[in-house]
C-alpha cells in the first residue's frame, strides 16, 4: 500500500533560532539518497519512490530482506549507496553516494541489477507509519521511533538500518555532520504525528549546508556566446517555477551553474521538444524580498530529481 511520505520544511536562520532539543526537537542525519516507502501486504513487498513509482524489479535483494517484515507494515526511509561510515562524536553514521544511488535507480531494472554486482543499495529507515496492520500516523514521533527500533532489532536484514536519533544536539554537531559529507539534518518535533503527504510548520525541519528547493522546469534561455563561443546554441539557463495554492505554476527564477555535460543534456532535451514535466533541485544563498514569499538569491542548478513529483514543488517553500 503506497503512502505519501511526510515532508520537512526548510529552516531559515530565523527559524533555526527557535529549534533545539530544549524546545522539543530531536535530530536525525539527512541523507542524500532517494526517499522511499516500503510496504508489505499479503506476502508481497512493494518499494515506492516519493512519486509512487515501483522499484522492486531494481532491488530484488532488498525485497528478499523486506519479506521478513510483519504483514501490514510500512516503512519510510532512504535508499542509498553507502560510500563510507563516519564517526561524529561517537555516533557511527553512514554517508550516501547520491550519484551512485541515482545511477542504479535511474536505470532500467536489468542495468540496475548489473550495477549492483559492485555496489549495494541499503535502506535507511527513519519512520514506521504502519505496523502489523495498525496505523501509527496518530502516534507521536518518539513512540514511533521506539517501535521502529524494536522492529529493526528483531529482524535479520543486513542491508536495512535505522537512522540514528539524537535527543540532545547542537548546531556545531550539524556542521560536523556536513564536514563528513552528510547532507545535513532533519529536526523533528517529539510530539509530531505522521502527516502523510504534508509539509507543515513546527513538525519536521531540514537543515543543510546550503538552502535548496525542488522546482519545476518551465523553459530555457539561450546561452551567450562568451569569449570562446563553446556554449553558442546551447541552453544558457533553466527557467523554473512552483505551484501556488490554487494549483497554478508560477515562475520563480532561472538557474545556471551546470557542467558542460549537463548543459549538453538539457540542450538535447530542449531540442527534442520533450514535454515531460521535470523536477530539478536548485541551491541558493538566501531568500530576498519584503513580502510573504522570497526569491532565491543566486540560484544554481544542482541536479534533476526523478524521485520528486512536480505537484510537490510549492511556492510555500520560499516563505520568508
Residue 103 phi, psi (nearest 5): -65, -35
Which residue from 141, 182, 183, 158 is spatially nearest to 6, judged by alpha carbons? 141
pLDDT at residue 226 greater than cutoff 60: no
pLDDT at residue 83 greater than cutoff 70: yes
pLDDT at 227: 53
Tell me the C-alpha distance between 285 and 165, whole Å: 28
pLDDT at 51: 85
Average pLDDT score, the chain = 93
* pLDDT tens profile 139-184: 999 999 999 999 999 999 999 999 999 999 999 999 999 999 898 9
Confidence of residue 228 (pLDDT cuts 50, 70, 90): low
Name all domains of the chain by residue range, CATH numbers in brackets.
9-208 (3.30.470.30), 211-318 (2.40.50.140)
Confidence of residue 46 (pLDDT cuts 50, 70, 90): very high
pLDDT at 185: 97
Tell me the C-alpha distance between 309 and 65, whole Å: 28
pLDDT at 3: 94
pLDDT at 107: 93
Most confident of 95-99, 113-117, 211-215: 113-117
pLDDT at 111: 95
Residue 146 phi, psi (nearest 5): -65, -45
Q: Which residues pair with 37 in a beta bridge?
A: 48, 76
Q: Residues, the chain, total? A: 320
pLDDT at residue 275 greater than cutoff 70: yes
Tell me the C-alpha distance between 106 and 241, whole Å: 24
What is the reported pTM?
0.75
Confidence of residue 291 (pLDDT cuts 50, 70, 90): confident
pLDDT at residue 285 greater than cutoff 80: no
Confidence of residue 91 (pLDDT cuts 50, 70, 90): very high
Top pLDDT among 128 and 10 is at 128
* pLDDT tens profile 101-116: 989 999 999 999 999 9
Confidence of residue 74 (pLDDT cuts 50, 70, 90): very high
User: Residues 248-260: what's their mean pLDDT?
Assistant: 94
Tell me the C-alpha distance between 279 and 267, whole Å: 16
User: Residues 26-49: what's their mean pLDDT?
Assistant: 97
Residue 3, classed as helix, strand or coil, is coil
pLDDT at 153: 93
Confidence of residue 225 (pLDDT cuts 50, 70, 90): low
Amino acid at each position: 500500500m503506497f503512502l505519501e511520505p511526510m515532508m520537512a520544511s526548510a529552516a531559515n536562520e530565523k527559524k533555526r533560532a527557535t529549534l533545539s532539543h530544549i524546545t522539543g526537537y530531536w535530530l536525525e542525519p539527512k541523507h542524500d539518497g532517494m526517499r522511499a516507502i516500503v510496504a508489505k501486504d499479503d506476502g508481497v513487498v512493494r518499494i515506492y519512490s516519493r512519486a509512487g513509482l515501483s522499484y522492486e524489479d531494481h532491488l530484488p535483494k532488498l525485497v528478499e530482506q523486506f519479506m521478513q517484515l510483519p504483514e501490514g507494515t510500512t516503512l519510510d526511509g532512504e535508499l542509498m549507496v553507502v560510500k563510507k561510515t563516519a564517526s561524529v562524536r561517537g555516533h557511527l553514521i553512514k554517508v550516501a553516494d547520491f550519484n551512485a544511488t541515482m545511477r542504479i535507480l535511474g536505470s532500467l531494472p536489468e542495468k540496475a541489477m548489473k550495477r549492483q554486482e559492485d555496489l549495494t543499495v541499503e535502506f535507511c529507515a527513519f519512520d514506521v507509519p504502519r505496523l502489523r496492520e495498525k496505523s501509527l500516523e496518530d502516534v507521536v514521533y518518539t513512540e514511533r521511533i521506539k517501535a521502529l527500533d524494536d522492529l529493526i532489532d528483531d529482524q535479520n536484514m543486513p542491508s536495512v538500518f535505522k537512522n540514528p536519533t539524537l535527543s540532545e544536539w547542537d548546531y556545531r554537531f550539524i556542521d560536523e555532520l556536513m564536514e563528513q559529507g552528510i547532507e545535513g539534518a532533519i529536526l523533528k518535533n517529539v510530539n509530531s504525528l505522521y502527516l502523510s503527504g504534508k509539509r507543515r510548520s513546527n513538525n519536521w525541519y531540514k537543515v543543510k549546508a546550503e538552502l535548496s528547493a525542488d522546482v519545476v522546469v518551465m523553459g530555457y534561455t539561450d546561452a551567450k556566446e562568451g569569449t570562446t563561443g563553446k556554449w553558442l546554441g546551447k541552453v544558457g539557463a533553466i527557467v523554473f517555477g512552483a505551484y501556488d495554492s490554487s494549483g497554478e505554476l508560477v515562475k520563480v527564477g532561472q538557474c545556471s551553474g551546470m557542467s558542460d555535460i549537463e548543459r549538453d543534456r538539457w540542450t538535447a532535451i530542449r531540442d527534442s521538444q520533450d514535454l515531460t514535466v521535470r523536477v530539478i533541485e536548485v541551491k541558493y544563498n538566501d531568500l530576498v524580498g519584503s513580502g510573504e514569499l522570497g526569491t532565491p538569491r543566486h540560484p544554481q542548478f544542482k541536479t534533476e530529481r526523478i524521485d520528486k513529483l512536480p505537484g510537490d514543488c510549492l511556492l510555500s517553500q520560499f516563505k520568508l
